[in-house]
Amino acid sequence: QEFRERSLLPVAMAGIQNAKMNNGTDHPLIGFGTYKIGFVPASSNTANQPGHSPDQDPAEIIKEAIEVGYRYIDCAQFYGNEKMVGTAIKASGVPRKDLFIASKVWGDKIYEGEDAVRQQFERTVSDLGCEYLDLYLVHWPVPGKHVACYKVLEQLLQEGRVRAIGVSNYTIEDYQELQKEMKVKPVVNQIEINPFLYRKKTIDFFQKEGVLLQSYRALRQGKGLDDPRIRSVAEKHGKTAAQVLGRWCVQKGIVVVAKTVKRERMLENLGVFDFTLDESDVSTLDGMTTPDTIEEYRALYFKCIVRDTPLEKAPPEHHTVTLD
């Protein structure tokens, strides 16, 4: 294992490439996700599954990710661990200006309105030990509430409390609703993107809009890595299945949010910048999405836009959204 880590380290430390956001600033093409590290939200779809073994110090996991080269740290109110992330950031010794720290405001505060969103922002920056955030997102487009929330983010941007603002889990229709009233275009939309859920129409729309896409579950939380189609591409390039999934995203200009609690995997996930998938590889991976996975996405979307809000008990009628 030690030899493998040494062999991976030069690739990892060679430098993470950047994408350009529509505000003219750089965004690292790969980041470290902090979901389920040290805390699992009660309303999580996998609330009974801890994100790491009991003997692991969660703050040390995040500190280790920074040490091996991650600079974009993906956080959220919902993750319930921002104070722990702040401890890890401080312990890492990496200057704040060298980090790209993002967070998201959750549905309960979005539903409650402006004061709640502002209070949550103050708690987030306090817990993270930061005076500002590089990026702040609306986590889910809560019906009837998300546009007002985004306007608060626009105010925080104007006040210099955040460097950039964006959205997460927005469909084309959610964005079009926001577009009618927004003053500042979102720099990013964070959604699930991987070969098993490749919503090409949605991806093309946001990329044409100049909205950078971030992918969570880019590596499918380790599920599907044994798929023979992915394995075949990996063997062809002398890479791992996880690296193939990461490369597939970055080659499309999509930011990867990678999550793992193992140092070896942290290093492995960074190794996506030293090879290129050819047309046949991309074609194979592009063709893996099935109607079942699209239906799973639809069910999750309508569940999550009202999760932890009073709308759960009386959800609004499902509106039309582009699923593919």
Q: Which of 79, 136, 150, 198 is catalytic?
A: 79
| SS3 at position 316 | coil
C-alpha span between 177 and 147 (Å, rounded): 8
Residues for the chain: how many in total? Answer: 324
C-alpha span between 322 and 324 (Å, rounded): 6
- The first and second tokens of residue 54, run together, are 């009991």
The DSSP secondary structure of 70-83, one letter per residue, reads --EEE--GGGS-HH
C-alpha span between 262 and 304 (Å, rounded): 29
Residue 19 CA to its chain's centroid (Å):
15
In this structure, how many other beta carbons lie within 10 angstroms of the beta carbon of residue 77? Answer: 22
Beta strands 30-33 and 18-20 are: unpaired
**175 in active site:** no
The two most distant CA atoms of the chain are separated, in Å, by 56
Give residues with Cβ within 8 angstroms of 253, minimum separation 6. Answer: 19, 207, 212, 213
Give residues with Cβ within 8 angstroms of 153, minimum separation 6. Answer: 105, 117, 136, 137, 138, 162, 165
* CB 172 within 8 Å of CB 140: no
114-128 vs 146-158: helix crossing angle, rounded to 10: 50
* CB 97 within 8 Å of CB 132: no
Give residues with Cβ within 8 angstroms of 198, minimum separation 6. Answer: 285, 286, 288, 289
Which residues are catalytically annotated?
79
